[in-house]
A and B are shown apart, each in its own frame.
Chain A
Amino acid sequence: MNCDQFLPRIHEFLDGQLPPRDFSSCRDHLENCDACRQRHDEFLWIKQALPIQRLAPTFEKRLWKGVHDNVTRSPWPVRLWNDWATFWRDLDSGMVWSKVVAVPVTLVFFVAIILQFEPLRLPQETYPMMATLSPAVSSPTPTTTHVRVRYQGDTLDDLMNAVWRLPFEDSLSLVAEVGPEGFAQIEEVLEHPRSATLLNAVDLALRGGHFETAAPHLLDNPFLIYSFQKVDVYADRQGL
């Protein structure tokens, strides 16, 4: 056996974990190789120098008392409380504060990034019929805010119930015209719903409801734009 063969086995030789034949070969090599013997002696010195420590008798009694009390006397609420107290005792306050600080800093960071972008605007192409409507309706300015009408009638609740039963992704947008008699008629469906029931319900509601006009001759624009979605029913006029 030479040094290259012995050195990979030196720890197993030290620990007596080699088969007898390998052990003899290693021992023979050690007798003839000063370098390997010195390394072996060095490892052996370290191996024998590692410390052995035992508990002092006084603390041994306390340790036993702690274990014994835990397993015999404490009811579960006390043990639960002890575990909780131990958890807080061992919790690193620096770590807690670092997390407390990190959360708002991270939130502010992300909000700052989001604010860098323009608000998402719905593209005009979503409602292709909008282009064919009169400028009073399709203009970007909310012309319908001049409408002085208020919906009267309890069918709106039925309408909203119908909307709530829609699939999440279903929606409806339409333009309705309020007639002189105070009822509305669907003028244009901008976005058809998947559910024909919804369209019928809206139609019935608009026909059956009554739109109170404060001064018909002052009605700037008789058109109303409605949009119905799963999560909301709204018009472009507050209080409508």
Chain B
Amino acid sequence: MAEFTHSLTSRVGFQDTEDLVIRLKAGDEIAFQEAFHLYKDLVYNLAFTLLTDKSEALDVTQEVFLTLHRKVNQFRGESTLKTWLYRVALNQAANRNRWWYRRRRSRTISLSLTTPENGEKELELISDGVPPDRQMLSSEVAQALRDGLDQLNFEQRAAVTLRDVHGLSYEEIAGAQGVHVGTVKSRIARGRTRLREHLRPYWEGRTA
């Protein structure tokens, strides 16, 4: 997980986020571009995991960065910029996770799943290879994992994703979700337990 964020940070070559915040507040467009490249994958990954819909995840990602641009002056530095962005992303995703969106999503086909006529796979996700701490999964297990995540409630899914995919500490997750650390621990434990129950057949098949 750390590699997930670390590779992005090193790719941009930008370490001092405090300086980034100062420049963002000063309206520096270059700083905004750097912040976009630094955090876009983090935000998109969180949004996609929470919403399980590519087009909505992209909408959320765009909204998060528009919020960053418009409201960066409201960022008071009580948390890291990353945690603040996670919080904005969680709020945006929660708004889109209302029942009618879920209901509509269940009976519509996402455009992102269709192949454009010009052959451009613009919404396709890329993989830089499996990171060392990740596992290569069969498509069946991967699908079961996605289904299992979809069965968690929104808060549990967010807590598990922020911990296991994004590598946030319990305190950072608590800051992003606006709850106490104890609540975060509970959500992670319940979420993982439900995932374990859902994936039990695949685990037993793997170890058999």
> What residues make up the interface of A, taking CB atoms closer than 8 Å to B?
11-12, 15, 17, 42-43, 45-60, 62-64, 66-67, 70-72, 90, 92, 94-95
Say yes or no: is B41 at the interface (Cβ < 8 Å to chain A): yes
**Chain A, residue nearest B64 (CB):** A67
Q: Which of B45, B124, B192 contacts A46 (CB 8 A)?
A: B192
**Chain B, residue nearest A95 (CB):** B100
Are A51 and B185 in contact, with the CB atoms below 8 A? no
**Chain B, residue nearest A46 (CB):** B195
3 smallest CB-CB distances across A and B, nearest first, come from A92-B100, A59-B122, A71-B69
Say yes or no: is B196 at the interface (Cβ < 8 Å to chain A): yes
Are A58 and B122 in contact, with the CB atoms below 8 A? yes
Q: Which of B65, B165, B206 contacts A50 (CB 8 A)?
A: B165
Distance to closest chain B CB from A94 (angstroms): 8
Q: Which residues of B contact A52 (CB under 8 A)?
A: 4, 45, 131, 134, 165
Are A55 and B135 in contact, with the CB atoms below 8 A? no
Q: Mark B72-110, 1 if CB is under 8 A from A, else 0.
A: 000000000000000000000000000011011000000
Residues 111-130 of B contacting A (Cβ, < 8 Å): 120-128
Q: Which residues of A contact B45 (CB under 8 A)?
A: 52-54
Chain B contact residue count (CB 8 A cutoff): 57
Q: Which of A51, A63, A71, A95 contacts B40 (CB 8 A)?
A: A63
Q: Which residues of A contact B44 (CB under 8 A)?
A: 53-55
Known: A50-B49, A51-B142. 16 other contacts (CB 8 A): A15-B170, A17-B169, A45-B135, A46-B192, A46-B195, A47-B192, A49-B141, A50-B145, A50-B160, A51-B49, A54-B127, A58-B122, A63-B62, A90-B101, A92-B103, A94-B104
Are B41 and A17 in contact, with the CB atoms below 8 A? no
Say yes or no: is B22 at the interface (Cβ < 8 Å to chain A): no
Distance to closest chain A CB from B192 (angstroms): 6
| Bound Cα distance from A43 to B194, whole angstroms | 11
Q: Which residues of B contact A56 (CB under 8 A)?
A: 121-126
Distance to closest chain B CB from A88 (angstroms): 14
Are B125 and A55 in contact, with the CB atoms below 8 A? yes
| Bound Cα distance from A51 to B142, whole angstroms | 8
Q: Which of A15, A55, A60 contacts B163 (CB 8 A)?
A: A15
Say yes or no: is B58 at the interface (Cβ < 8 Å to chain A): yes
- Grouping DSSP codes into helix (H, G, I), strand (E, B) and loop, the A interface class, with mixed when no group exceeds half, is helix
Are A17 and B125 in contact, with the CB atoms below 8 A? no
Are A11 and B4 in contact, with the CB atoms below 8 A? no
Distance to closest chain A CB from B37 (angstroms): 8
Q: Which residues of A contact B100 (CB under 8 A)?
A: 92, 94-95
**Chain B, residue nearest A68 (CB):** B33
Are B145 and A17 in contact, with the CB atoms below 8 A? no
Q: Mark B9-42, 1 if CB is under 8 A from A, else 0.
A: 0000000000000000000010011001000110
Q: Which residues of A contact B180 (CB under 8 A)?
A: none
Are A42 and B196 in contact, with the CB atoms below 8 A? yes
Say yes or no: is B179 at the interface (Cβ < 8 Å to chain A): no
Q: Which residues of B contact A71 (CB under 8 A)?
A: 32, 66, 69-70
Q: Which residues of B contact A43 (CB under 8 A)?
A: 192, 196
- Given known pairs A46-B199, A50-B145, the reply for A59 and B123 (CB within 8 Å) is yes
Are B58 and A63 in contact, with the CB atoms below 8 A? yes
Are B164 and A50 in contact, with the CB atoms below 8 A? yes
Distance to closest chain A CB from B165 (angstroms): 5
| Bound Cα distance from A66 to B45, whole angstroms | 18
Q: Which residues of A contact B48 (CB under 8 A)?
A: 53
| Bound Cα distance from A72 to B49, whole angstroms | 30
Are B145 and A51 in contact, with the CB atoms below 8 A? yes
| Bound Cα distance from A59 to B121, whole angstroms | 9
Are A42 and B203 in contact, with the CB atoms below 8 A? yes
Q: Which residues of B contact A67 (CB under 8 A)?
A: 36, 62, 65-66, 69
Distance to closest chain B CB from A71 (angstroms): 5
| Bound Cα distance from A177 to B169, whole angstroms | 92
Q: Which residues of A contact B126 (CB under 8 A)?
A: 54-57
Are B145 and A55 in contact, with the CB atoms below 8 A? no
Are B145 and A45 in contact, with the CB atoms below 8 A? no
